[in-house]
Structure 1
């Protein structure tokens, strides 16, 4: 009896060990490492088994495809996410600083600076960090830009006969009551519109006045239909907006994914445009630091950057070749200029008060 029981226990132990070995072999990614040390980091992340990613809503910036690719490459590391909004993410991190819930946090880069100032994120230098221009990253890697969103004219060609090609064109009488853009006082995109208008009218990061003056002229010309506080994407798809000064990726998504087809033109203004940096961070004392690092490294590899491009979002890492499926849809646009996010934060008050005076007469 004792011998039989012992043999059964040994058999169960051997079977369990075989299952663990089999599982271990299944939990290895295919092909060569994307960067030195990837396998070791994956092994450490598997012990944690989870990454909690704040503010990466799946419908924004092609995050759904990033999740799918990450979990395919790293089986055994689950993904949990939410969609809070940039400013709310910083508030959530601050409230939970004593018992952090998140491993990573994604936001408009201005909020990344707020998170670093609040001390809720930590140094981490992912792959390709050194390729980013200095204004697009924290020196220690407390935040770094992973993609940009660029200002473009999204034009409903069923409602607009002549598609405007420049900021100067938008001032023409034929575009009376045609233009919608987001309020720069309450939205990040609206702030980026103000910088784009400045770049296109002789201004700079240090001189925003030409952009404010231009938006005032646009209103005085009677060409602004309205300014809004939230994205008007649904209204644009319904044909309620002739011209939306918005983000390029929304226009390309409307054209190629959501059915507008040739009834929309997506135009990067000829004079200049602004690129809004969106950043991500490793949360200080997050519950799954290795899984968080694995996730951040993945989206900064050339492969991860290409996945952003597949969602019509321009990668932040210079030199990444766009996938063939989108290369012709996002042609090179050298007139796009990245925003220096630290200077943008410093200019917010000037934009708020200047815009209210020039546009609203307040």
Structure 2
């Protein structure tokens, strides 16, 4: 399981320079479409600006390629989502640095600005998205009205796409199922407890600290108890500072992992003894954010990708992988979503149990983590 950042475990920064990691893409000057120039595509705020979906598809197909970054195939069903886009529109998707963090996505866009290999679209945790809004292009997809107002920026600079429940995955052959957060301080979990990344960089780890804080009387408005608890895990020699991957889980190297439910559930495919649980009490939920790079080298394909991501088909693919799509209510109304899949994806929790930080709370949590995290894990 790769950690996504802020939601993902950090990849080596030099990898994000992507020297040769992306196939050569069409340049902006090659992006002219029958419905307008590349400049038209780069400023389009809806499919109507192209003359409709057919014209948007034609413009994107003329570009021929799309650059994505930090989308592991096993993360929230992105393998099927990417291949589905390629098959539906006959457009090649160049996927770079799948294990990168959200922060590294932004760094890659900065490093590659003006180049054909720059990312066209982003998939970001909330903290990083809110810090980099000036890098996004506004766009409203055709299913815009189905997306709740609280899950999107009004002009479409960012839109929530999917979420999970913060969960604990554990190897039942090595450790017992924890029933309460304090169980993890016991000797049975010596050298076993892992966060999926660095919470100052990775959204999954950020959410884990928030979830732990809530279990200890804090929560989205106070991450302090979460940082304190992780420090206690470190003192007890129970914290393992290894970034979890499918390989570390399969080998037994990382016996217990805080991560999104869709990642922990997926890990069981290669590790039958791997189980997933959500502790009683507040359930931490935080959506990822879809956004278009305002300097996208393939601006029409970037906008078509947005249309795909928020279509019934792609939203259902998220749900198939135990991720909760933002348009889940619309899918239920149309009969596109099975109630049993929704129950499985939410682990029986409801929105009454969910906690998610506001923009101000996210900023406060980031500040606290930047000040205290390094000392907590020393």
CA distance, structure 1, for counterparts of residue 155 and residue 253 of structure 2: 46
Partner of 1:60: 75
CA distance, structure 2, for counterparts of residue 55 and residue 344 of structure 1: 22
Alpha-carbon RMSD across the aligned residues, in angstroms, is 3.0
Structure (1/2) with the larger strand percentage: 1
**1:245 pairs with 247, 250, 258, which one?**
258
**2:368 pairs with 333, 350, 354, which one?**
350
Conserved? CA contact 2:67–2:119, under 8 Å: yes
Distance 1:208 1:326, change over 3 A: same
Secondary structure of the 2:284 match is strand
Distance 1:88 1:170, change over 3 A: closer
**1:332 pairs with 341, 348, 355, which one?**
348
Structure 2: gaps spanning 5 or more residues: 1-46
Return the offset for 1:153.
1.0
CA distance, structure 2, for counterparts of residue 46 and residue 147 of structure 1: 26
Partner of 2:212: 197
**2:97 pairs with 70, 83, 95, which one?**
83
Conserved? CA contact 1:180–1:243, under 8 Å: yes
Conserved? CA contact 1:166–1:271, under 8 Å: no
CA distance, structure 1, for counterparts of residue 187 and residue 72 of structure 2: 40
Which segment is superposed worse, 334-343 or 324-333? 324-333
Secondary structure of the 2:287 match is strand
Distance 1:48 1:219, change over 3 A: closer
Q: Deviations over 1:293-343 (max 9, x none)?
A: 111111112221111222333223342454589556433322343343553
CA distance, structure 2, for counterparts of residue 284 and residue 356 of structure 1: 34
Larger radius of gyration: 1
Q: Deviations over 1:86-111 (max 9, x none)?
A: 22221232244445644322233333
Return the offset for 1:131.
4.5
Distance 1:47 1:246, change over 3 A: closer
Conserved? CA contact 1:277–1:339, under 8 Å: no
Conserved? CA contact 1:45–1:288, under 8 Å: yes
Distance 1:338 1:52, change over 3 A: same
Distance 1:164 1:45, change over 3 A: same
Conserved? CA contact 2:207–2:284, under 8 Å: yes
Partner of 2:221: 206
Return the offset for 1:266.
0.2
